[in-house]
Amino acid sequence: MLREQDVELGALGLLRQSGFDLRHGPELGPDAPQAERASFADVVLQARVAAALQRLNPRLPRETLDGVARTLAHPPHPTLIQNNRWLHGLLVDGVPVEYRDAKSGEMRGGCARLVDFDQPQANDWLAVRQLTITGAAGKSIRPDLLLFLNGLPVVVIELKDPADEQADLGVAMAQLKRYMATTPDLFVPNVLCAVSDGLLTRVGSITAGASRYMPWRPLADEGGAPTLEALIRGLLEPRTLLDYLRACVTFEEDERGDIVKKIAGYHQFRALRKGRASVLAHLKPEGDGRGGVVWHTQGSGKSLTMLMLAGSLIREPRLANPTVVLITDRNDLDDQLFDTFAAGRALLRQPPVQAAGRAHLKDLLDRAAGGVVFTTIQKFAEGAGVISERHNVVVMADEAHRSQYGFVEGGARWMREALPGATFVGFTGTPLEGDDKNTIHVFGEYADVYDIRQAVVDGATKPLYYESRIVKLKVDEEGLRVAEQEVEYAVNADRDGEVAPGRYRVPLESLVGAPERIERLAAFIACHWEERRAAMEGKAMVVTMSRDIAAGLYEAIRALRPDWHDADDERGAMKVVVTGSGDDPEPLRSHVRTKAARKRLAERFKDPADDLRLVIVCDMWLTGFDCPPAHTLYLDKPLAGHNLMQAIARVNRVYGDKPGGLIVDMLGLADQLADALATYTQAGGTGEAVRQVQGEAVPAMQAAFEKLRDFFHGCDYAAALHAEPHDVLALYLRAIDHVLGQNDGWPRFRALVKELATAFALAVPRPETAAITPHLAFFQRCAAMIRKRLADDDGRHAANSRQRDVDAAVRQVIGGAVDADDVIDLFAVAGLDEARLDILGDDFLQRVAALEQKNLALQTLRKLLNDQIRITERSNLVQSRKFREALEDALSRYTNKAISTAEMISRLIDLAKSLRQARWHGEQLGLSPEETAFYDALADNESARDAMQSDTLRLMARELTEMVKKMPKLDWTQRESVRASLRRNVRRLLARYGYPPDLAEGATQLVLKQAELSTDNAP
């Protein structure tokens, strides 16, 4: 069976093959023969840093390089993320220095390189396992693997046992967070963190939450498993890691000063490498200038991939300081993409510039080299002539497939004529259509593909669900035929990137926006959204056909839900987001805002804690707009093809435990969606791009419900469904006793409730959810009551028991039990609320024994004993081991049905009394808890107890306690010389007091282990 140690050894073998030297942590310790650290607090290997600086900067004076080393050892900022950004800049660009020229005596400016990016083998690559590091508070950590680049720890890897279900990657991620809190200096040079059990591997930055640790798959084998080997061979090989370090790390800082570090997922890194290779292979004049198309599904980080590719091309020597031109076909998209590039300008080595107009664009492109220029395609005017014939111009077009670009007659054609030597790269979130020859003609074939199936499997996006809830047009049969024709014209025009002719658009708009229909639409959305929010907290968007309809719909919803409205843009749960002017009539004019005001609304909408929950739009925010908390999209606009796919993707972003996004079709676009999905499949897309609520979410909910009904077979809880919990507490106790009486009852019940809540959140408010709602409420209340009092909270289970399940928002409304203070106290209901649980008193034990619910009694005792033994484990090795063995023996006998529930309760009560008496044992001897621990270690052997007097053992325990207190405060357990010294002193003490010689070695080892425990838990 594969163990964590086997995973670690396998990783070391792969790292050695990749070019890393290997070391064991103690080999670098301060007392090691070849020590590389002055203390256990050191995270930088100073000698290796100094050697690398000398090797990479032979022309700089020694004192200057010593100053650089001192700079690296003293980060200047107060927070970890600020220091990480600072040091990353130095790794990539070097350290600015001033020095006196040895020959001329003049002061010169220069740059000290920390890394040789051109010759990876010129760097010092070291992998260290089990390196002990002590934080400022005296606590120590021991990461499984650290990768050092020229003496700086740039990668931290935490490994877990693949056979241990409790030691999952979530536990490893939580462990990394604890490491950051304990020893933040370790993470100042960090490029990336990784967690793995050998078979599953995820990578994240120091600011990444658990949902942002992404699997790392083989770069060459699309769809390959995310193994540890895939990470080491595909990313941690020195040349590859240097490429990643320089091109795939960016920092975004918001107006509040909060910094987020973003690093590339495997699909982004793969696209960067393939896109760069394609550009270089097709450079003019030798190539055809068609750099390829990158199809990465919406929501998977396409804008970030564009930024990273641009930064990589700017650094490419063959391009000799190129000009990069970013093209979009809409002003709002230009602004959104520009904001991403402006935030990541460090990757570009220059600030990007937006072209204000055609003349400005010409000025920006008429240059010798360099520059990152943003423009819309419309700014390329016919007859502009040749602006630049340079071959080191790279044009990157966002959503390159759209016919608005005018490939044949229009901006794209004139752009190519203005930049005849340029190489063109296209990015798209949706696949190219089968008959789309123009896009291929300009950009070439696919360079990289990351489709919906891959994104959902990786957790880069969430699945989309579709539901048809048509709000019908009120027309006669002939009018209906005409209306259907008009809808068809409108969606065909949208598919072709054109505006529908007025003779079709205006009548259709009048039908869709008829006052009577708007009222029905408003009533539907108000009720539907309230039920959605009751099931899952988040945000929603309504897409309307026109600005007037958007304003009218707002007024209609406002009439039904006046508390959603507020004239102040900083308040209110609902807003309309459109462009316009002061000349627009009311009520539209009241929704027209400045660009800055719309940006502020976007900030509010993206903030999950902000009360702005519902936005009504027409054209804005349908592409390139990310709002991760959004999970519902109401579609009431004729859309087709790419535009339809891009619009519905607004709700596929990853956010916490959001299970997916819901598309509510209110106009009847099922055929258009089917066409778009057919295009997706024909282009090679895999998996279900959009799933049916009725066909998948509802059956999944019903199946999960049936599992829970089966789970409660023999326990009738029906009377609790429509009653207040406080009125039927006995039923809750009976149900909880039923849960606890089954094999693995609590873990199974918890998993089943989460499964039901997930499917319920996707299906609500389908009619089928109504019958299940009271059952789910009951299940969730039971789970909350168990979790509050009986869930294990030790380190191994913490990540699982404390993580916010997807049903958290469901509980808030349906179960009424999210906050611990709001949960009915299980012990209070059982009559145990007044007892002192922490001392396991006779009164409390008698109450537990008398409980009618024997399974509850048993689990209560198990939980409390487990907690008390865990506390004892921190201080007294012998006591905790004895009681742990007794508890495990009893549980094993009970599980194997060797003893009954009543016998098990009796055993646990006896064990609780023994545990309580053991606490008094030290006091009766006149010993402190620390002295008692050593007394128990010396007296553990019965023969030794018989041979030695108690008073002698007490003296020995006191002397041992003082001896250990005088040991170094650092992690001496990793210093063999200190361990050897302690071992000698213990043996001498035992001999001096006449401890039986034949038992001395066993006692010595036990005392050493107790000493290690004492120092590990010393304040």
- Specify whether 233 is located in the same domain as 102: yes
Sign (positive/negative) of CA torsion 977, 980, 982, 984?
Answer: negative
Place of tokens 């608005």: 404
- Specify whether 544 is located in the same domain as 686: yes
Find the angle CA(981)-CA(982)-CA(986) to the nearest 5 degrees: 120
On the question of pLDDT at 801 being above 90, the answer is no
Q: How many CB atoms lie within 10 A of CB 516?
A: 9
Residue 881 CA, chain-centre distance (Å), reads 38
On the question of pLDDT at 504 being above 60, the answer is no
Neighbouring residues of 606: CB distance < 8 A, sequence distance ≥ 6: 626, 627, 628, 629
CA–CA separation, 782 and 738 (whole Å): 11
Each residue's pLDDT tens digit, 244-256:
999 999 999 887 8
Task: Determine the average pLDDT of the residues in 530-547.
Answer: 91
CA–CA separation, 428 and 458 (whole Å): 19
- H or E segment at 948? none
Whether residue 211 contacts residue 656, with contact meaning beta carbons closer than 8 Å, is answered with yes
Whether residue 739 contacts residue 853, with contact meaning beta carbons closer than 8 Å, is answered with no
On the question of pLDDT at 733 being above 60, the answer is yes
CA–CA separation, 250 and 239 (whole Å): 19
In a domain, 471, yes or no: no
- Specify whether 176 is located in the same domain as 313: no
In a domain, 624, yes or no: yes
The token pair at 164 is 């241990």
Place of tokens 């990016």: 117
DSSP strand pairing (691-692 vs 140-141): unpaired
- Specify whether 716 is located in the same domain as 780: yes
Q: What is the DSSP string of 372-383?
A: EEEEEGGGS-TT
pLDDT attached to residue 416: 83
Any alpha helices (H) in 580-721, and if so which ranges? 595-606, 641-648, 670-682, 698-711
Q: Where does a domain end: 925, 945, 972?
A: 925
Each residue's pLDDT tens digit, 106-150:
888 899 999 999 999 999 999 999 999 988 877 889 999 999 999
On the question of pLDDT at 798 being above 60, the answer is no
pLDDT band of 711, cuts 50, 70, 90: very high
- Specify whether 271 is located in the same domain as 323: yes
Instruction: Choose the weakest-confidence range: 131-135, 147-151, 519-523, 896-900.
Output: 896-900
Whether residue 340 contacts residue 304, with contact meaning beta carbons closer than 8 Å, is answered with yes
Nearest to 335 by CA among 598, 641, 601: 598
CA–CA separation, 644 and 947 (whole Å): 86
pLDDT attached to residue 815: 36
How many domains are there within the chain? Answer: 6
- Specify whether 638 is located in the same domain as 517: yes
CA–CA separation, 396 and 910 (whole Å): 74
Residue 142 CA, chain-centre distance (Å), reads 23
Task: Determine the average pLDDT of the residues in 548-567.
Answer: 96
For 282, the 3-state DSSP assignment is coil
- How many H helices and E strands in the chain? 38, 27
538 in the Ramachandran plot: left (φ > 0), alpha (ψ -120 to 50) or beta? left
Q: How many CB atoms lie within 10 A of CB 210?
A: 18
Terminal-residue alpha carbon distance, the chain:
38
pLDDT band of 411, cuts 50, 70, 90: low
Residue 396 CA, chain-centre distance (Å), reads 29
DSSP strand pairing (201-204 vs 214-215): antiparallel
pLDDT attached to residue 485: 62
In a domain, 869, yes or no: yes
Q: How many CA atoms lie within 13 A of 937 on its CB side?
A: 31
In a domain, 496, yes or no: no
Q: Where does a domain end: 670, 690, 710?
A: 690
In a domain, 504, yes or no: no
- H or E segment at 665? strand 661-665
CA–CA separation, 993 and 988 (whole Å): 9
User: 568: burial class by Cβ within 10 Å (0-12, 13-18, 19+)?
Assistant: exposed
The residue with greater pLDDT, 970 or 897, is 897
The token pair at 708 is 């829970």
- Specify whether 647 is located in the same domain as 783: no
203 in the Ramachandran plot: left (φ > 0), alpha (ψ -120 to 50) or beta? beta
Q: How many CB atoms lie within 10 A of CB 501?
A: 12
- Specify whether 685 is located in the same domain as 701: no
Sign (positive/negative) of CA torsion 182, 185, 186, 190?
Answer: positive
124 DSSP assignment: -
pLDDT band of 838, cuts 50, 70, 90: very low
In a domain, 550, yes or no: yes
Q: What is the CATH number of the domain that holds 165?
A: 3.90.1570.50
The token pair at 578 is 């459109």
The token pair at 909 is 């009560």
- Specify whether 911 is located in the same domain as 991: no
pLDDT attached to residue 60: 93
The dihedral formed by the CA atoms of 955, 956, 961 and 962, expressed in degrees to the nearest 10: 70
- Specify whether 290 is located in the same domain as 243: no
354 in the Ramachandran plot: left (φ > 0), alpha (ψ -120 to 50) or beta? beta
In a domain, 686, yes or no: yes
Nearest to 43 by CA among 139, 178, 183: 183
CA–CA separation, 94 and 116 (whole Å): 10
Q: What is the CATH number of the domain that holds 530?
A: 3.40.50.300
Which letter, b or e, does each residue of 1-20 get, where b requires 16 or more Cβ atoms within 10 Å of its Cβ? eeebeebbebbbebbeebeb
In a domain, 462, yes or no: no
| Domain enclosing residue 951, as ranges | 929-1016
- Specify whether 193 is located in the same domain as 229: yes
Task: Determine the average pLDDT of the residues in 712-741.
Answer: 83
- Specify whether 907 is located in the same domain as 935: no
pLDDT band of 808, cuts 50, 70, 90: very low
Q: Where does a domain end: 227, 262, 297?
A: 262
pLDDT attached to residue 834: 45
Each residue's pLDDT tens digit, 632-651:
999 999 888 778 888 888 99
